Amino acid sequence: MTDTKPWFKDWFNSPYYHQLYFKRDKVEATKFINKLIEHLKAAKESLILDIACGRGRHSRILAAMGFDVTGIDLAVESIKEAKKYEAENLHFFVHDMRLPFWINYFDYAFNFFTSFGYFSTRREHENSIRTIAQSIKPGGVFVLDYLNAHYAEDHLVHQSELQIDNVTYFITKWFDETHFYKKIIIEDEVLKKPIEYQEKVAKFSLGDFTEMLAYHKLQVQEVFGDYNFNSFHIKNSPRMVIISKKVP
């Protein structure tokens, strides 16, 4: 029988996932978020939704800035960890972004560091955009931070090896017409044998996102190509930071 369980169900709950991706430079993440908030001119009383928040790393930065922040993620173990940091202005819930959340409640919704594009069908991704659009007030802002597929194709490192805290990650990357793939083999002395995970992320273009957002009354206002807010260039920009506004 074919295993139909989505790849992210186990991987996002694994401690190895967090070790691999979230030993990133907190200073860099804080710098980007500070720059974003300054650019948006977000009022201190703003209500913010952090979609696919993981263990709440970015939610905590935003809460420390004084905003009221709600983080959602479908990974139970991640939210269990995030809840340790809950405060009067910081809240976390296990929630699947494909399903409706609070309606017309938030001033801003953020989806950081390619925490999108994981589902099997276009309909599921459309449902996620619908959830986000419904969750923000009319006039509210959604910021989507996604990889730029054209740049990623040209700069893909097909094989690499990382050593983090005595754990070795063997990483193989490739792509086809519709997706990027990443196979991760993990060797750890506490494991009886290596374990393997495979990621799959959709190749969405700026045009794809503009169309999906517009269908749910989110109008693209600006697009930046990196975390320094340089202009987006289809071949030279590593990121697509898309700022959209909910129109009545």
Give me the residue spans of the domains in the chain: 7-148+204-246, 152-199
Using CB atoms within 10 Å of the CB of residue 204, give its burial: 0 to 12 exposed, 13 to 18 middle, 19+ buried: buried
pLDDT at residue 4, rounded to an integer? 47
Q: Find out whether 91 and 72 touch, Cβ atoms under 8 Å.
A: no
Using CB atoms within 10 Å of the CB of residue 86, give its burial: 0 to 12 exposed, 13 to 18 middle, 19+ buried: middle
Cα separation, 35 vs 53, whole angstroms: 19
| pLDDT-based confidence at residue 5 (cuts at 50, 70, 90) | low
| pLDDT of 3 strictly over 50 | no
Say which CATH class 7-148+204-246 falls into: alpha beta
In the chain, DSSP finds a helix count (H) and a strand count (E) of 8, 11
| pLDDT of 1 strictly over 50 | no
Q: Give per-residue pLDDT as tens, 70-112.
A: 999 999 989 999 999 999 999 999 999 999 999 999 999 999 9
Torsion sign (Cα): 51, 54, 57, 59: positive
Q: Find out whether 106 and 135 touch, Cβ atoms under 8 Å.
A: yes
Residue 104, SS3 per DSSP? coil
User: Across 5-19, 26-40, 232-246, which has the greatest mean pLDDT?
Assistant: 232-246
Cα separation, 227 vs 129, whole angstroms: 22
The pTM of the full predicted model, rounded to 2 decimals, is 0.91
User: With left for phi above 0 and alpha for psi between -120 and 50, is residue 189 left, alpha or beta?
Assistant: alpha
| pLDDT-based confidence at residue 11 (cuts at 50, 70, 90) | confident
Q: Which residue shows structure tokens 């139970």?
A: 76
Q: Give per-residue pLDDT as tens, 128-162.
A: 999 999 999 999 999 999 999 999 999 999 999 99
Determine what percent of the chain is predicted with pLDDT higher than 90.
83
Give 195's contacts (C-beta < 8 A, 6+ positions apart).
Answer: 16, 185, 186
Residue 19, SS3 per DSSP? helix
